[in-house]
Chain A
Amino acid sequence: MTKRVVVTGIGIISAIGKNTDESMQHFRSATSGIGAITHMDTVHKNNLPVAEVKYSNEELLSLLNISNHKSNYTRTSILGMYAAKQALESAGIHSVKEKKTGLISANSVGGMDKSEVFYTQFLANPGKGKISNIVGHDCGDSTEHIADYLGIKEQVTTLSTACSSSANAIMLGSRLIQHGLLDRVIVGGTDSLTKFTVNGFNTLMIFDKEACRPFDATRNGLNLGEGAGYIVLESEKSAAESGKKIRGFLSGFANANDAYHQTASSPDGNGAYLAMSQALAMSNLQPTQIDYINVHGTATQNNDLSEGIAMKRIFGETVPRFSSTKSFTGHTLGAAGGIEAVFSIMALEQQIIFPNLRFKTPIPELQLTPETELIEGAGIKHILSNSFGFGGNNSTLIFSAA
């Protein structure tokens, strides 16, 4: 594949802000978005910290100029519409139909924020529950709402591979451009916090009851987050034709399967190792050329150790500077790959490396230390971003400076 794919726009909403400026303010002031649960009614309310987007559905709809009364959007859709629109605008796209434009979105539990309300009544009595709460249940629903909101029709589809979902959406988008099926594509993902996922991860006993500590020896688990992150990919030719500013290149990517266990990562980080090696091979880069790794870094015992081992297998004793931005945003599940892709482009443009909050002691088996302070003038040319999901689904993206 010799056609180069460029990034021309980015859009984001997460616990650390509804755009890149707000996000950067949080990074600079080392203020994470992790805190108590406020939106949900759950027994875990005062026990588990999460990273909520600090805007209600009504506030976001208002920002989108959509009437609250007429809409029946799930929070997943609203977050997605918000970030995808921001990405489109940031790419200076005013007329979607000028070129073959697609939307590849990803999420893990679709419109579960509304469907879990429905099921509460429905499971007790099959005649009960408001139908309007269930129509948005499936993963494809939010994608179609985003597509309709933005006027995109050429190609619309949804990926769902747990925590690697939106990284995979980005890969697919790039390949569609490289095969000439699209000129440009909005790619990324969205997920909202739900009782379903809060309770689900709780059964796996991988939550930290405090704010998470990625890559720390005493790490105790993850904090769930919510949000949406999208980037606009274009063929270099299409970007040049419309005079778009190139904000970065997607120079390599890969998806590999750990094939070890349904939820746990292999002890030698095999899937992660394969994904990173293959992405490097595609980008024609040597490991020494990677200047920053945005790690998957969920802060679970299992992930950080496994990911760290894989990193050492690839980078040897000279592991590049790295940090987990999940220490700010929590783990946004299906949106994580997209959100972290946006952070990667921000890092390239502003030459900044984000800090990994609350790290004190390296994991003994790894002796790896992430960056704990924000670094300016970081001299970054190439960034590697990891997203690893259940089902052994391991994805790596490599972004390079324009």
Chain B
Amino acid sequence: MNTLVLMKMVPDTVEELEIAPDGKSLDVEAVRPIVSERDDHALEQALLLKDKHGGTVTVVALESRDVDEVLFTALAKGADRAVKVAAGDAMLTAAETAALLAKVLPAVPNLLPAQLIVSGCQAIDDLDGVVAPSLAERLQLPYLGIVTGVEVAADGGRATVYKEYAGGTRGRYVVCLPAVLGVQAAEKPPRYVPVAKVRATMKAKTIECVEAPARDEASLLEIAAMTKPQAAGRAEMLEGSPEEVASKVAEILSSRGLA
């Protein structure tokens, strides 16, 4: 059971986000990157499958500030191999990232075929969740997204994949491997790895670096503008004692026919 986990860095929204002077992108200097939460779940799902079936887990990420720490943390958690793709400083769109990965992954020695390629089904800067399905299309592999559970058959040829739907229903799919999965949540929360273990991993293991080939496809989409939401200033703060505030709320609701 060999699994490839695609991980990426996204802006950490705990910090204030700032728009760059071009008005079309985030100010990358002001942003602190953090690993995409759903990618962390994809890694956990891969590690759970390794715990159960053995095999290997390889993590792949595009070069980015702080990405080494994320890759070493993945190795400390139990991944076997970490590969970093140097693709220059340009901010890639989701479709461009998928195109790049489709070109790079087959060129890395001993990487493909992997039985599963997993990634987060979305990221805060890829709400459409385009990367994994686009990559699947380019690699001519089946794709399932919004995945919340994976079971692999004993012969490793097929996987049973669970998806959650609205209203408390759950879908069960059977997919032939190799396949690409977009993970919404692993079966368990991502595991904790003690800092001392990450430090020891940094000394004992290395991250492989591969150069990305020149990109020859331009994105068909262009960001026209990026702005912060305009404050409308329509919120009215109700003042007074809890009783006074409660009667004002009641008045407002009844005056608008809501109560």
- Asked whether A and B interact, the reply is no
State the B residues within 8 Å of A (CB). Answer: none
